[in-house]
């Protein structure tokens, strides 16, 4: 099989121009997961018969067989496994010289160059380039921390784009699109291809928050001439003591002072009353024990003496 392909290639190089093949000059751009048509055609003469047509589509670099048509039917015994049930010709247009290849459900791995070999008595070939693109989705933009923000706080702005191809050019700005970055801005990027070959891209911006800041993230797809962006505006508030809270605090302070004054008055009154009761109790105890001052009993003693003296005088 490989010797046959090599022979065809040598014949194609030695007899170039014997069959004039037409292919697009520009690469064929196809969306990921969609069908692609690799165009290849020639102008058959009046004696052309499909029995005279041999057609081979193969990868230009690895020479892997993609599709073969000969003897009026497909010959797919040696077809590459990754192309099984994914290729077809435009069979009703073959008599008119349209030997284009239909490639279904295009994957990232399909990207590359395909060679179209045509034999109608003579050989000729031409290559067609296939490029794959994925429509970029709108990126996600997040802020951390995302609440209780004040001017001067350090914040991290993250832009995340998913399932993009080719590798996107992702730009993250502090300020509106096209604005000059203000403050401290440090940007880091991370790009990871998933199992399908599509890219997840993350861009992180570290800045110092201003009173009102707008951050924008732009993703460009140069292959599809597509761009999409998203923005987020953050309003950081200075810490201001609310008027209502101020009056409530003043009222509470006044009530607390009044309560403390009343408590002090009650305590002082209690202390005075307690001291008075203690002094009165102390006087009664001294009288009962016969100790201490006897001032309250002196008048009675004087009266007794006078009475005794009276008796003696009489």
**Digit-coded pLDDT (tens) for 115-169:** 999 999 888 999 999 999 998 888 888 888 878 778 888 888 888 888 888 887 7
- Detail the DSSP E strand segments found in the chain: 21-22, 28-31, 36-38, 41-42, 53-59, 65-70, 73-74, 87-89, 101-103, 112-120, 122-133, 140-144, 154-164, 169-174, 186-193, 199-208, 212-221, 226-235
Is residue 61 predicted with pLDDT exceeding 60? yes
The whole-angstrom separation of Cα 83 and Cα 103 is 8
The whole-angstrom separation of Cα 90 and Cα 77 is 20
Give residue 245's pLDDT. 53
On whether the CB atoms of residues 213 and 175 are closer than 8 A, the answer is yes
Instruction: Tell me the percentage of the chain whose pLDDT exceeds 90.
Output: 32
Hey, which of 235-239, 243-247, 271-275 has the most confident mean pLDDT?
Answer: 271-275
The whole-angstrom separation of Cα 269 and Cα 292 is 29
Q: Is the model's pTM score more than 0.75?
A: no
Is residue 272 predicted with pLDDT exceeding 90? no
Give residue 74's pLDDT. 95
**140-235 has which CATH code?**
2.60.40.10
Sign of the torsion formed by the C-alpha atoms of 260, 263, 265 and 268: negative
Q: How confident is the model at residue 285 (pLDDT cuts 50, 70, 90)?
A: low
Give residue 18's pLDDT. 61
- φ and ψ of 93, to 5 deg: -105, 0
Q: Which fold has domain 2-133?
A: Immunoglobulin-like (2.60.40)
Q: Indicate where the chain has its CATH 2.60.40.10 domain(s).
A: 2-133, 140-235
pLDDT tens figures, 93-119: 999 999 999 999 999 999 999 999 999
Buried b (16+ CB within 10 A) or exposed e, 263-288: eeeeeeeeeeeeeeeeeeeeeeeeee
Instruction: Tell me the percentage of the chain whose pLDDT exceeds 70.
Output: 70
The whole-angstrom separation of Cα 10 and Cα 17 is 13
Give residue 223's pLDDT. 85
The whole-angstrom separation of Cα 68 and Cα 74 is 6
The whole-angstrom separation of Cα 214 and Cα 131 is 36
Mean pLDDT of 59-74: 95
The whole-angstrom separation of Cα 20 and Cα 210 is 66
Mean pLDDT of 205-230: 82
Give residue 244's pLDDT. 54
On whether the CB atoms of residues 27 and 113 are closer than 8 A, the answer is no
On whether the CB atoms of residues 110 and 103 are closer than 8 A, the answer is yes
Give residue 283's pLDDT. 61
């Amino acid at each position: 099989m490989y010797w046959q392909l090599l022979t065809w290639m040598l014949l194609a190089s030695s007899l170039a121009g014997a069959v004039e093949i037409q292919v697009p000059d520009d690469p064929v751009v196809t969306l990921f997961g969609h069908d692609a048509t690799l165009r290849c055609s020639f102008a058959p003469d009046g004696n052309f018969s499909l029995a005279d047509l041999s057609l081979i589509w193969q990868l230009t670099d690895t020479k892997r067989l993609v599709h073969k048509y000969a003897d009026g039917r497909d010959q797919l015994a040696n077809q590459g496994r990754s192309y099984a049930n994914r290729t077809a010709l435009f069979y009703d247009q073959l008599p008119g010289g349209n030997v284009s290849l239909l490639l279904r459900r295009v994957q990232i791995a399909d990207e590359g160059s395909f060679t179209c070999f045509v034999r109608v008595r003579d050989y000729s070939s031409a290559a067609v380039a296939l490029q794959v693109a994925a429509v970029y989705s709108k990126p996600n933009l997040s802020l951390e921390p995302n609440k209780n923000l004040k001017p001067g706080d350090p914040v991290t702005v993250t832009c995340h784009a998913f399932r993009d191809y080719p590798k996107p050019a992702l730009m993250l700005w502090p300020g509106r699109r096209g604005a000059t970055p203000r403050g401290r801005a440090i940007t880091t990027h991370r790009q990871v291809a998933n199992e399908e070959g599509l890219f997840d891209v993350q861009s992180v911006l570290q800045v110092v928050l201003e009173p009102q800041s707008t951050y924008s993230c732009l993703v460009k797809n140069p292959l599809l001439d597509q761009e999409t962006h998203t923005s987020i505006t953050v309003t950081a508030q200075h810490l201001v003591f609310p008027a209502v809270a101020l009056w409530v605090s003043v009222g509470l302070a006044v009530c607390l002072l009044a309560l403390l004054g009343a408590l002090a008055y009650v305590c002082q009154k209690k202390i005075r009353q307690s001291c008075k009761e203690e002094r009165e109790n102390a006087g009664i105890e001294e009288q009962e024990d016969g100790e201490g001052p006897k001032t309250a009993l002196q008048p009675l003693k004087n009266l007794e003496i006078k009475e005794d003296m009276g008796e003696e005088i009489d």
